[in-house]
Structure 1
């Protein structure tokens, strides 16, 4: 069993990562999507093997990553993946950018549902296209995250009717933590198909579902969804290896795969590292036990956060997510304004992601990283409470 409480702030800062070193040691970092947990042993062994053989030359990309991902997807995600239609890329954002460029006209908008992972707001512009913001619909007073957030299907259809030809889907959804239902995804698929569009589905958080929740791959919904789906993913989030570049782009028809390969410039696909590929293979092949342990640790922290918010933080609302290790805190009733994350960093010395960075409808929210030790979580919660109480 992995000791997920083993690491101290001092040890985490010694890793040298951006998360723990962007600000001074007086600020507790609970922001960027990077776990504070020890590496899965099979992944560590794979990395050590690359170091031992000094495998630091230009990486040779073969079919081992696609095959490892296909086996993992079938075993863990209930998803059918053809390794021959799967391409290795440096990272998820690169895969999304190339997919937009290959599959959509230059003058076509790209639908981004907000609050959105902040980089989704920027990627369309990198391809010369416009991001079309279609905010999620929020149900006031909802008791679960599944009830709280929904795709604005009418708004998405209007965007496609006005010229958008693709949509970036985050499934499971960062930052709100929702896993969309099969029915909601099927309704989306019908709209996209009506306009001959594409869904670029970022499913990087798919392995990180909470108890009783099953990930639903967009491509698995029906043949319509599969025909226009680009699935982009990596082991980087679920196995805490974001600094080791490697991701995959999977198409779900031979025709779509051929179009992707012929339309993408090779220089835009190359860049996965040997370390990244070997780490992904090890994670997908031998990481199940560690993954189950880490999901249990995240769920325990999720329950603790919910308990603390309800008992100690009046004016703050939190509905536990169905997936990811990212908590979306609603601080709109605290009087801290549109950017409570920055206020907490200044007054509580605890750094959360500012909700407004995820789009205009993220104002008043903050995102907290739950993939940390019990002691760090308690420290962070105490800092939030202390700052709010001292106002």
Structure 2
């Protein structure tokens, strides 16, 4: 069945938004840095929030807000993953969940493996939990990025106690294969380590690279793992504050149940209502339409870069709406986003924030209309043609 790509909202409407993406820079800058998208909300979400506002449903989040059962249904429909609703908890956002799970499973001063280039809050989150970052970068074989399993094995052999996994990976858009995830679980089990998997981009995996939840790959994964995810990235709900924490073993479910009660109270009521609506079947058609748009845009971006910025190196992501682009050939310094914003008036995310591997790189958000994507690349190309470097 053919799915019609979702249309973005008009620019004049987007500029009325008060979120980070639209209030960080002036109207002469095209904002393509933070991971917010430019589309209307799924109708089921709009309806749920409208009704809440109309009846003044703005109080405290209830103790059992039905997020768990909604996520269980979503996971089964989309990934064939059977989740026990008794092993699902909730909190304000994915990074809150990650911090609390690390605090509960890793002693202060112990090391946690991350896989840069990776989402910048991973560095801070590990430190917030009282642990120490150990970097085991992804391996780039020229065709894609992969987990450095021997490197992770060595880190755990050397005393690291946990792996903070980004699955799918931000910023590369890599969907880790079932085989790699199963091998990671085996390695972690052998060393008695924990794997905490941030799976917020899972709903946005493209059809050619289906998403595999870490906890579903093996008994070892169920024993060592926790997953933390949310509807917020796919459905653009970050400001409403809701995420789910999932365990697949009774022992790990007990860890979630023993977290301080305040962890759940951080969940916003509008976040709960919107996540329930997002995870319901009523939002599935909207999600399919969004993925169709992102599929068109990731290909369009490849064409635009080939035409206008031929020295840029870009692999279309396997999931999500974030492009990891190497522009080092243009000699715009270690952090090209600075020069691009000053000279092209396009705001991109800073490559070095994702780790040393990000030098010379930018992350571009293509969760927008094709006209904005085209104008942004053309502006950057005009800067490149000018011969300026800084």
Question: Is 1:346 paired with 2:342?
Answer: yes
Match of 1:306 in 2: 302
Match of 2:256 in 1: 260
Question: Is 1:25 paired with 2:27?
Answer: yes
Q: Structure 1's 202 and 268: CA in aligned 2 closer, same or farther, altered over 3 A?
A: same
Q: Tell me how far apart the structure 1 counterparts of residues 196 and 365 of structure 2 sit (CA, whole Å).
A: 25
Runs of 4 or more, structure 1, over 6 Å off, are none
1:377 pairs with 366, 373, 378, which one?
A: 373
Offset at residue 82 of structure 1 (A): 1.0
- Partner SS state of residue 225, structure 1: helix
RMSD: 1.4
Match of 1:99 in 2: 101
Residue pair 2:112, 2:132 contacting (<8 A) in 1 also: yes
Residue pair 2:189, 2:220 contacting (<8 A) in 1 also: yes
Match of 1:182 in 2: 178
Q: Tell me how far apart the structure 1 counterparts of residues 17 and 210 of structure 2 sit (CA, whole Å).
A: 33
Which stretch of the first structure deviates more once superposed, 1-10 or 326-335? 1-10
Question: Is 1:169 paired with 2:165?
Answer: yes
Q: Tell me how far apart the structure 2 counterparts of residues 133 and 115 of structure 1 sit (CA, whole Å).
A: 9
Match of 2:242 in 1: 246
Match of 1:67 in 2: 69
Number of residue equivalences: 384
Match of 1:88 in 2: 90
Q: Tell me how far apart the structure 1 counterparts of residues 41 and 291 of structure 2 sit (CA, whole Å).
A: 14
CA-to-partner distance for each residue in 1:67-113, whole Å, 9 max, x for gaps? 00000001012222111100011110010000001112223111111
Residue pair 1:2, 1:38 contacting (<8 A) in 2 also: no
- Partner SS state of residue 207, structure 1: helix
Question: Is 1:295 paired with 2:296?
Answer: no
2:354 pairs with 334, 355, 358, which one?
A: 358
Offset at residue 213 of structure 1 (A): 2.1
Residue pair 1:61, 1:88 contacting (<8 A) in 2 also: no
- Partner SS state of residue 287, structure 1: helix
Alignment of 1:324-335 (within 5 A): 324-335=320-331
Match of 1:228 in 2: 224
Q: Tell me how far apart the structure 1 counterparts of residues 284 and 263 of structure 2 sit (CA, whole Å).
A: 31
Q: Tell me how far apart the structure 2 counterparts of residues 379 and 156 of structure 1 sit (CA, whole Å).
A: 41
Offset at residue 153 of structure 1 (A): 1.4
Offset at residue 310 of structure 1 (A): 1.6
- Partner SS state of residue 343, structure 1: helix
2:113 pairs with 111, 114, 137, which one?
A: 111
Query: What's the TM-score once normalised by structure 2's chain length?
Result: 0.96
- Partner SS state of residue 232, structure 2: coil
Offset at residue 344 of structure 1 (A): 0.6
Offset at residue 42 of structure 1 (A): 0.6
Q: Tell me how far apart the structure 2 counterparts of residues 234 and 260 of structure 1 sit (CA, whole Å).
A: 16
Q: Tell me how far apart the structure 2 counterparts of residues 69 and 5 of structure 1 sit (CA, whole Å).
A: 26
- Partner SS state of residue 38, structure 2: coil
Residue pair 1:77, 1:207 contacting (<8 A) in 2 also: no
Unpaired runs of 5+ residues, structure 2, are none
Residue pair 1:325, 1:369 contacting (<8 A) in 2 also: yes
Offset at residue 6 of structure 1 (A): 5.0
Q: Structure 1's 63 and 54: CA in aligned 2 closer, same or farther, altered over 3 A?
A: closer
Offset at residue 60 of structure 1 (A): 0.8
Match of 2:191 in 1: 195
Unpaired runs of 5+ residues, structure 1, are 143-147
CA-to-partner distance for each residue in 1:334-357, whole Å, 9 max, x for gaps? 222211111111111001101101
Question: Is 1:281 paired with 2:276?
Answer: yes
Question: Is 1:152 paired with 2:154?
Answer: no
- Partner SS state of residue 122, structure 1: helix
CA-to-partner distance for each residue in 1:270-316, whole Å, 9 max, x for gaps? 21111111101111102100000000011111111011112221210
Q: Structure 1's 255 and 352: CA in aligned 2 closer, same or farther, altered over 3 A?
A: same
Which stretch of the first structure deviates more once superposed, 193-202 or 55-64? 55-64
Offset at residue 61 of structure 1 (A): 2.9
- Partner SS state of residue 367, structure 1: strand
Residue pair 1:112, 1:169 contacting (<8 A) in 2 also: yes
Q: Tell me how far apart the structure 2 counterparts of residues 212 and 313 of structure 1 sit (CA, whole Å).
A: 26
Q: Tell me how far apart the structure 2 counterparts of residues 186 and 253 of structure 1 sit (CA, whole Å).
A: 16
Match of 2:141 in 1: 139
Offset at residue 252 of structure 1 (A): 0.5
Offset at residue 4 of structure 1 (A): 4.1
Q: Tell me how far apart the structure 1 counterparts of residues 22 and 9 of structure 2 sit (CA, whole Å).
A: 13
